[in-house]
Structure 1
Amino acid sequence: MRLSRSFLPTLKENPAEAQITSHRLMLRAGMIRQTSAGIYAWLPAGLRVLENIAGIVRDEQDAAGAQEVLMPTMQSAELWKRSGRYDDYGPEMLRIRDRHERDMLFGPTNEEMITDIFGQVVKSYKELPQVLYQIQWKFRDEVRPRFGVMRGREFYMKDGYSFDLDTASAVDTYRRMMLAYLRTFQRLGVRAIPMRADTGPIGGELSHEFLILAPTGESGVFFDSALEDQDWLAENVDINDRASLEKFFTRMTSFYAATDEMHDKKAWAEVPADRQREGRGIEVGHIFNFGRKYTQSMDIAVSGPDGAPLYPEMGSYGIGVSRLVAAIIEASHDENGIIWPESVAPFKAVIINLKNGDAQCDALCDQLYGAAPKALLYDDRAERAGAKFADADLMGHPWQLIVGPRGAKEGKVEVKNRRTGERTEETLEGALALIAKLQG
């Protein structure tokens, strides 16, 4: 994309309404614009990040054996009345009445709808297990939306649901999802610590939240530093092998990790002092097993091995895709702007032409841009160099390919790594090799 022709409206000053770093930087980098309280339009750069994150989430869900569906945002109130949640959910649910006086709602979550769809299709225990997921917009009418997309009313979310024959099978699915989530966050370029979460009246141990460590996090966290090193996960665990998953899950859950609400001081004291870590975290995912709560309340049964009706066990698995955009920024920025991990960046690199109109500069930049126009942003604006460098740092492109008159004359490109600040001088061939590598 050529910046001179793009819709990337950067801002020099911090917007007065933005209270946290990610909100300020998303507005300044031209990623979003607010349309009403807690509701945002996603501009081209922001949408590219959103889609990159969703793509990684989708890859890892598919690899874990989940199947993608797409459910409507509008739901019938009758489904929620069947489960008993319609009156209990509270004012966060946006309730609507259509022209035929039927009660409808804008879905804040999809347990009822997916359970009903499952019940229409699956009739026998032989068709289990089933894991279905979607990546879809949700709406919760927050009383005080704030912090940009971190706590908005409309949000983009991956929600998944599993249906299993029995508890043992449900535990296997839960473990598979935990591994898939950790691999997802690794690919997103962040460390997400799994924290044991409250299962409420259902009880049991199968509920974990995933929190990205950041100073602006809403939750206080306590965890064993062993959880920060998760590199072994991708190599040593077979997501389709029951014994391998059990070993992984036992190891992962043996390390202490809890938010303020679940903190156990006695158990914390048993963690070696040199491995005790405290901080703050942003919740970006939650996995939860709730047994037969919805299949029983909605009377969704399959034929069991003995022919008798059997209520499948269910789990839910959520990732806040739009929230992750803000959480990654909170965890990865400096005083100059965003520092995107390569895997989610809107553009892998920016080409900065320091002298538009100079024949050699223009020709060299065109060669670079022509190698990967979809992956690169070409700053071809008639702006001073300082403004181009400032915007490049603000928008957080992982690499900057800088072309000036002296370098162009010699066929050289200056390459800057946004994260480290390291600068090197490359030949045209070397710069093209980097571009090819960035394309994957």
Structure 2
Amino acid sequence: MKQSLTFIPTLREVPADADVKSHQLLLRAGFIRQNTSGVYSFLPLGKKVLQKVESIIREEMEVINGVEVFMPALQQAELWQETGRWYNYGPELFRVKDRHERDFALGATHEEVITSLLRDEIKSYKKLPLTLFQIQTKFRDEKRPRFGLLRGREFIMKDAYSFHASKESLDATYEDMKQAYTNIFTRLGLNFRSVIADSGSIGGKDTHEFMVLSEIGEDTIAYSDSSNYAANIEMAEVNIQYVDSEEKQETLKKVETPEQKTIQEVAEFLETVPEKCIKTLVFKADDELIVVLSRGDHEINDIKLKKVLDAQTVEMADPLEVKELLQCEIGSLGPIKLPIGVKVLADHAVKYIVNGVCGANEKGWHYTGANPGRDFSVDEYADLRFIVEGDPSPDGMGTVKFAKGIEVGHIFKLGTTYSIPMDGTFLDENGKSQPYIMGCYGIGVSRVMAAVAEQYNDDYGFMWPNQLSPYDIHLIPVNMKDETQAQMAEELYKLLKSYRYEVLFDDRAERAGVKFADADLIGLPIRVTIGKRASEGIIELKYRQAGETVEVQKEELLEKMQAFFN
């Protein structure tokens, strides 16, 4: 492609609203342009990268017998109402009405649509298992779109759905898909980890995320320093064998703690440590208020709490609700002498606190010498806290460390989460009606492009890996007005294209400095420069990632290209 005939609007300055490197460079190098907050146009270079990402995904999906379809983005509300997600998905779901006042959703995801499609067509176990996938635009009304393509309101996603007659069949496809995703992200050249995750609003059990390691990642990964264990911090189990203290129990005492509200303030005022304090929180689980206890230096994990309570929703209780329940404001809450009927859950670590400090449910007062079992009761102990760095790894091998990650893929075992409410059934080998057992598997295609951009760059611009670069070679004659340079450039352009190389030919009437700066910014794997020594048949090769520059005879060009790309 001749650069004068395509559309690559490069920028010299960093856009003011671009906070991360990938967003800055994708804008500066002319790969994308923002239409509105969280919505982008993909320009020719960006579109070519997307196509290469999609090609790798399609190849790996076909290996595991995934069949491509294309479903509508505009989805009738009735399907979402069948599963209840129309009401509980949240404000991220774009809801629209047609001219007849009928409700529709812009597809944030396609579980309902694919289930309705299969329930009308697949009636026998003989047609199962079946895996269908699509690559399509999705819509989510993010409260705070940020980081360019990493968190947008309109984005490109690969979603796949598998349908099974048995759990064993689902397990097999899940493992195949997990391997396919590993292959995809390896082929894309990403530094990633497969981690245990939470299913979120999708639902179902057993799920893994694929996280690209990055300092700008919004998710925290807990991983072992001695094994392959890795989990989203929300899902990492705490595997600590707490030891009973030999400390003698003291008498419970009520002490005044004026203006001391936080754990740290109370601990310092009473000359103790946060580990000896009992943090008391009130959560609203569905419609029930629950008192939850943790050690002062720990944080309650609401995902774990939700699972223990088997609740649909869990959130911090409103301060007014707390005051009505415990007759006390937040800051002096405690587990002693709670109203009858209030359910109390506690993290395992609380059970081993001896002579602890806790709120007295009275403003400006706390108890010292508080002991679980003697001074207050707990309905259930469970793993309720976030894991912390230095904890033993949940798999028993090594200790936990943290890293930041960008989620680029997510796989789920949905089970019958959608097939039962939507009456998606088939006849088994005994002629009995059974619900489909389902799996769901997603990759953020446009997010992958941003994640690659985040990992492959330097101070001058992109350094695209060969398999994803929009073009293979950047061919640059320094001076198109020089007849020898122009003629050689045209010859090499035709030659390279005849060998199926993708070539970006900078035929613009620009200064050499502008051309070189744009070339570094765009970041194709090899730059072929035709300059003053063209009359001698000598050209210059620059390898973008290595930063190496060499001069060769033009007759050697194909040999050098074959050696590099093969």
Cα distance change of structure 1 residues 415 and 146 upon mapping to structure 2, 3 Å threshold: same
1:407-426 correspondence to structure 2 within 5 Å: 408-426=534-552
Look up the SS of the partner of 1:287 in the other structure: strand
1:288-327 correspondence to structure 2 within 5 Å: 288-327=412-451
Aligned twin of 2:509: 382
Cα drift, residue 25 of structure 1: 0.5
Aligned twin of 1:257: 230
Aligned twin of 2:99: 99
1:29-68 correspondence to structure 2 within 5 Å: 29-68=29-68
| 8 Å contact from structure 1 (residues 207, 289) kept in 2 | yes
Aligned twin of 1:332: 456
Cα drift, residue 269 of structure 1: 8.5
Aligned twin of 2:393: 267
1:20-419 correspondence to structure 2 within 5 Å: 20-199=20-199, 204=205, 206-224=206-224, 255-263=228-236, 264=238, 265-267=391-393, 270-272=396-398, 278-373=402-497, 375-406=502-533, 408-419=534-545
| 8 Å contact from structure 1 (residues 25, 394) kept in 2 | yes
| 8 Å contact from structure 1 (residues 38, 148) kept in 2 | yes
Aligned twin of 1:231: none
Q: CA separation in 2, counterparts of 1:437 and 1:65?
A: 34
Cα distance change of structure 1 residues 199 and 89 upon mapping to structure 2, 3 Å threshold: closer
| 8 Å contact from structure 1 (residues 372, 439) kept in 2 | no
Q: CA separation in 2, counterparts of 1:176 and 1:34?
A: 37
Cα distance change of structure 1 residues 105 and 383 upon mapping to structure 2, 3 Å threshold: same
In terms of mean alpha carbon deviation, does 421-430 or 334-343 score higher? 421-430
Output one character per residue of 1:246-302: Cα deviation in whole Å (capped at 9) or x when no partner.
xxxxxxxx72112322334332694447xx764221110000101011111101100
Question: Identity over aligned residues, as a percent?
Answer: 44
Cα drift, residue 428 of structure 1: 2.1
Look up the SS of the partner of 2:539 in the other structure: strand
Cα drift, residue 199 of structure 1: 4.2
| 8 Å contact from structure 2 (residues 210, 408) kept in 1 | yes
Cα distance change of structure 1 residues 225 and 432 upon mapping to structure 2, 3 Å threshold: farther
| 8 Å contact from structure 2 (residues 60, 180) kept in 1 | yes
Cα distance change of structure 1 residues 400 and 277 upon mapping to structure 2, 3 Å threshold: farther
Look up the SS of the partner of 2:392 in the other structure: helix
Equivalent residue letter for 1:11: L
Look up the SS of the partner of 2:217 in the other structure: coil
| 8 Å contact from structure 1 (residues 411, 428) kept in 2 | yes
Q: CA separation in 1, counterparts of 2:198 and 2:105?
A: 27
Cα drift, residue 42 of structure 1: 1.0
Q: State TM-score, norm by structure 2.
A: 0.69
Look up the SS of the partner of 1:53 in the other structure: helix
| 8 Å contact from structure 1 (residues 358, 405) kept in 2 | no
Q: CA separation in 2, counterparts of 1:382 and 1:53?
A: 33
Equivalent residue letter for 1:66: G
Q: CA separation in 2, counterparts of 1:77 and 1:428?
A: 63
Cα distance change of structure 1 residues 86 and 220 upon mapping to structure 2, 3 Å threshold: same
Aligned length: 409
List alignment gaps of at least 5 residues for structure 1. Answer: 227-253
| 8 Å contact from structure 1 (residues 368, 432) kept in 2 | no
Output one character per residue of 1:369-424: Cα deviation in whole Å (capped at 9) or x when no partner.
11345711111222222221111111111111111121x12222211111111122
| 8 Å contact from structure 2 (residues 219, 404) kept in 1 | yes
Equivalent residue letter for 1:390: A
Q: CA separation in 1, counterparts of 2:563 and 2:509?
A: 29
Q: 1:429 aligns with which of 555, 559, 562?
A: 555
Q: CA separation in 2, counterparts of 1:316 and 1:409?
A: 60
| 8 Å contact from structure 1 (residues 339, 397) kept in 2 | yes
Output one character per residue of 1:103-157: Cα deviation in whole Å (capped at 9) or x when no partner.
1111000000001111111110011000000000000011111111111100000
Output one character per residue of 1:228-258: Cα deviation in whole Å (capped at 9) or x when no partner.
xxxxxxxxxxxxxxxxxxxxxxxxxx72112
Look up the SS of the partner of 2:87 in the other structure: coil
| 8 Å contact from structure 1 (residues 348, 438) kept in 2 | no
Q: State TM-score, norm by structure 1.
A: 0.88
CA RMSD of aligned residues (A): 2.0
| 8 Å contact from structure 1 (residues 354, 403) kept in 2 | yes
List alignment gaps of at least 5 residues for structure 2. Answer: 239-390
| 8 Å contact from structure 1 (residues 295, 301) kept in 2 | yes
Equivalent residue letter for 2:544: R
Cα distance change of structure 1 residues 354 and 277 upon mapping to structure 2, 3 Å threshold: farther
Runs of 4+ in 1 over 6 A off after TM superposition: 200-203, 437-440
Cα distance change of structure 1 residues 34 and 200 upon mapping to structure 2, 3 Å threshold: closer
Instruction: Mark the structure with the bigger radius of gyration.
Output: 2
Cα drift, residue 225 of structure 1: 6.9
Output one character per residue of 1:292-321: Cα deviation in whole Å (capped at 9) or x when no partner.
111111011000111000112101000000
Look up the SS of the partner of 2:176 in the other structure: helix
Cα drift, residue 6 of structure 1: 2.0
Cα drift, residue 164 of structure 1: 1.0
Equivalent residue letter for 1:172: A
Look up the SS of the partner of 1:261 in the other structure: coil
Output one character per residue of 1:337-368: Cα deviation in whole Å (capped at 9) or x when no partner.
11111111111110111122222211221122
| 8 Å contact from structure 2 (residues 466, 565) kept in 1 | no
Cα distance change of structure 1 residues 200 and 380 upon mapping to structure 2, 3 Å threshold: closer
Equivalent residue letter for 2:123: K
Look up the SS of the partner of 1:48 in the other structure: helix
Comparing both structures, which one devotes a greater share of its residues to helix? 1
| 8 Å contact from structure 2 (residues 66, 132) kept in 1 | yes
Look up the SS of the partner of 2:419 in the other structure: helix
Cα distance change of structure 1 residues 363 and 59 upon mapping to structure 2, 3 Å threshold: same
Look up the SS of the partner of 1:86 in the other structure: helix
